[in-house]
Amino acid sequence: MILELVQKVLADDNNGEPLDKLAFGVIGDLADAFPNGELKPVLLAEWIGTSLVSRKGYDKETKTTVKWAREVLCSSASRPACVY
């Protein structure tokens, strides 16, 4: 599944920021594409929440992508109160 690849990318510190930024974008895109909660079980995975709140000294553009992904997840109609 796509999210398995995203998880591997974010877990590997050797990939670099550009690849991390793309991975965060994929998370946001998936949440945006399925706003009615179709992917809720997988988007509630602990590793996603941890990734979205961790700060690795990313540049402004990557932080903006992370913030956007977090906002899309939090605004999903099927999300409980967002903790990201």
DSSP string, 8-76: HHHH-TTS-HHHHHHHHHHHHHHHHH-TTSTTHHHHT-HHHHHHHH------HHHHHHHHHHHHHHHH-
Tens-digit pLDDT profile for residues 28-73: 999 999 988 888 888 889 999 999 998 778 999 999 999 999 999 8
Domain coordinates in residue numbering, the chain: 2-75
pTM for the model: 0.87
